[in-house]
Structure 1
Amino acid sequence: MFEISWPWVFLALPLPYLLKRFNKRTANIPTLRIPSFEHNPLLTGHNEQKAQTVSMLYWLFWICLCCAFSNPKWLGEPISLPNEGRDIMLAVDLSGSMKEQDMEYQGQYVDRLTMVKAVLKNFIEQRQGDRLGLILFADTAFLQTPLTRDLNTVSQMLAESQIGLVGRATAIGDALGLSVKRFSQKKDSNRILVLLTDGQNTAGNLTPEEALLLAREEGIKVYTIGVAGDGSNNRFGLFGMNALSSSSSLDEKLLTDIAEQTGGLYFRAKNVAGLQRIYQELDTLEPIASDVQTFRPQNALFYYPLLVALFLLLVAAIKPWFYYKKSSLNGEYP
């Protein structure tokens, strides 16, 4: 559908004519009229024709310029945006232990963070209509991506995260506390936190117990996921000792308490299937409905009349020069 944003601009169309009339009335310049010159075709014919042509070009230029300033555009068909969804914050552990290769993925053992990235990538793609955010934590926690429906950005930020980016320890309390702070700005939200870690709380300014109290007060539902293998990858080090710590450092009791006291669930992810179980659970949550939002794609058209106006201005500027060259060739001017 064609639409003009500022139709009132066309009120300026008669402005050049009004200015010309006003100048004629206010001008008080004496002129000398020579009757014999009035009927001389050499002096009047070409000048009158040239003046009329240039005047027409300037009028067309002004009309096109007004059309451009009125901001014409073409509106596409209305597109409805998702009007319901969940607000889910993902908190991913980047501590040093996440590099241990005790997770089986696609027939081989990979480190824990690689497996988490691979599974969460698919998880994020299935969150159409939901708003997702990303928190990364180790020595401390920081917000990598605020809640957004731009799932591609969340997936990219997760893919670019690296072990050691924010230290080597594990600040579970800080990650939980930061999610509480972010969710406090979303009153009409499900307030769901998915916390993935492979260790115990060993750093941070906020203890898990303190953060848990804040999460309960704000009504945040926390799903905790313990990421650690079951010790089946028996590879040995230089002196016959197991090179992998497996799940010895995983504080399952803390993760279970956090989940149960906030109304969530605890999952032990020993492999891909363990992580994927959370898909079905989150799908059963009731989405938060919001007002229906629609938008119409817009294509700006102002540059078409603007280009025509510039072309006409160029023609009007060089046309007197052509008149002069033509008259010189015909011997009309000395």
Structure 2
Amino acid sequence: MLDLTWPWFLILLPLPFFIYFLPKTKPKGDAIWWSNTELLVHHQDMKSVAHHSYLTPLLLALAWVLLVFAIARPFWLGEPTRVAPSGRDLLIALDLSGSMQIKDMELNSQIANRLEAAKSVLADFIQERRGDRVGIIVFGSKAYLQAPLSFDTATINQLVQEAQIGFAGEQTAIGDAIGLGIKMLEDKPSDKKVLILMTDGANTAGRVQPKQAAAFAASQGVKTYTIGVGADSMEVQGFFGPKTVNPSSDLDEALLQDIADQTGGQYFRARSTEDLRNIYSLLDTLEPTPSQEVWQRPKTSFFHWLGLASILLFGLALLSSGQISWRLRRSL
């Protein structure tokens, strides 16, 4: 459907025609004297040129019409289309420290390390967050923004899959990861700030203490869910044969529980890939994406096309006027 933003500008359309038909000034004399007959012949040539001069007013009139319509801002209103509604701003902080390479998880019936299991589960989780802006923080000895908040979940997923152990250092800076998450969620509505922190260790690096970061997150309304990753036992080959060890002995569950409690989130324990899947399914329930349908009608503006056409016609009118003037000078 074609519509105008400022239709009242169309009252300017007849303005040049009113000016054109204003009373003209009458010449003082009624007779024209010719000194010889050659000038009369030239006068006939001038009348022929004047016949072609109607092109200039026509071009000017068309240029004026297009200019007025351009100022009125015409646009085409398309058919209604459904768009994903705006949901939460959700940051995922992923631990890339050296301990994430421990192979105490199972993925597709194969032994896998913790990061591989986390990537697999995150791929499905992020794909389902349509309507939310998702971002990724990776942390080790330091915390880095891997992907800013974006509705482009496909690109976010790709960046998650590209993350590798050791990218951010071998240690674990939990406090710095929370601090960076708070910074990235500044100026967002308080009921839409969500941080999911996934780690397999204790805070061993960084400038910010995790409890201080959690207190600040609580004051900023950043709800933080924490996930402790790692099996309780695994069999390893020792000097005297296989033995069972606890690969998650370094996991600081008390700290992760305290961070979740301070910020209004929850702490989850993931001892297997299946636990991770269940946790992220639960997070989908706790932090659902918006379900209300949102419709919009796309607008296509014609302002620039009409404005350009008007300028071109004005230019042609000037060229036409200049050509006629040159022919007049040549005939005289």
Q: What's the TM-score bracket when you normalise by the shorter of the two chains? A: 0.7 to 0.9
Aligned counterpart in structure 2 of residue 228 of structure 1, from 230, 235, 246: 230
Specify the alignment match of 2:285 in structure 1: 284
Residues of 2 paired with 1:101 and 1:310: CA distance?
Answer: 69
Change in CA separation of 1:323 and 1:228 when aligned onto 2, cut-off 3 Å: same
Aligned counterpart in structure 2 of residue 73 of structure 1, from 71, 75, 81: 75
Specify the alignment match of 1:275 in structure 2: 276
Deviation at 1:51, TM superposition (A): 0.9
Specify the alignment match of 2:195 in structure 1: 193
Alignment of 1:250-329 (within 5 A): 250-260=251-261, 262-285=263-286, 295-306=296-307, 308-309=309-310, 312=313, 316=317
Deviation at 1:290, TM superposition (A): 12
Deviation at 1:85, TM superposition (A): 4.0
**What's the secondary structure of 1:189's corresponding residue?**
helix
Deviation at 1:170, TM superposition (A): 0.5
Deviation at 1:276, TM superposition (A): 0.9
Which TM-score applies when normalising by structure 2?
0.73
Specify the alignment match of 2:4 in structure 1: 4
Encode CA deviations 1:71-124: one digit per residue, 9 max, x unaligned.
321122445655674443311112223234443222333443233222212101
Residues of 1 paired with 2:277 and 2:254: CA distance?
Answer: 21
Which TM-score applies when normalising by structure 1?
0.73
Change in CA separation of 1:214 and 1:316 when aligned onto 2, cut-off 3 Å: closer
Residues of 2 paired with 1:199 and 1:306: CA distance?
Answer: 63
Specify the alignment match of 2:328 in structure 1: none
Question: Where do 5+ consecutive residues of structure 1 fail to align?
Answer: 325-332
283-292 or 162-171, which deviates more: 283-292
Specify the alignment match of 1:330 in structure 2: none
Change in CA separation of 1:109 and 1:313 when aligned onto 2, cut-off 3 Å: farther
Contact kept, 8 Å, 1:87 with 1:189, in 2: the verdict is no
183-192 or 115-124, which deviates more: 183-192
Contact kept, 8 Å, 1:195 with 1:224, in 2: the verdict is yes
Specify the alignment match of 2:108 in structure 1: 106
Residues of 1 paired with 2:186 and 2:97: CA distance?
Answer: 27
Question: Which residue type is aligned with residue 197 of structure 2?
Answer: L
Question: Paired residues, what number?
Answer: 325
Identity %: 40
288-297 or 273-282, which deviates more: 288-297
Residues of 2 paired with 1:213 and 1:59: CA distance?
Answer: 70
Superposed CA RMSD in Å reads: 4.7
Change in CA separation of 1:235 and 1:121 when aligned onto 2, cut-off 3 Å: farther
**What's the secondary structure of 2:44's corresponding residue?**
helix
Contact kept, 8 Å, 1:188 with 1:288, in 2: the verdict is no
Residues of 2 paired with 1:214 and 1:321: CA distance?
Answer: 73
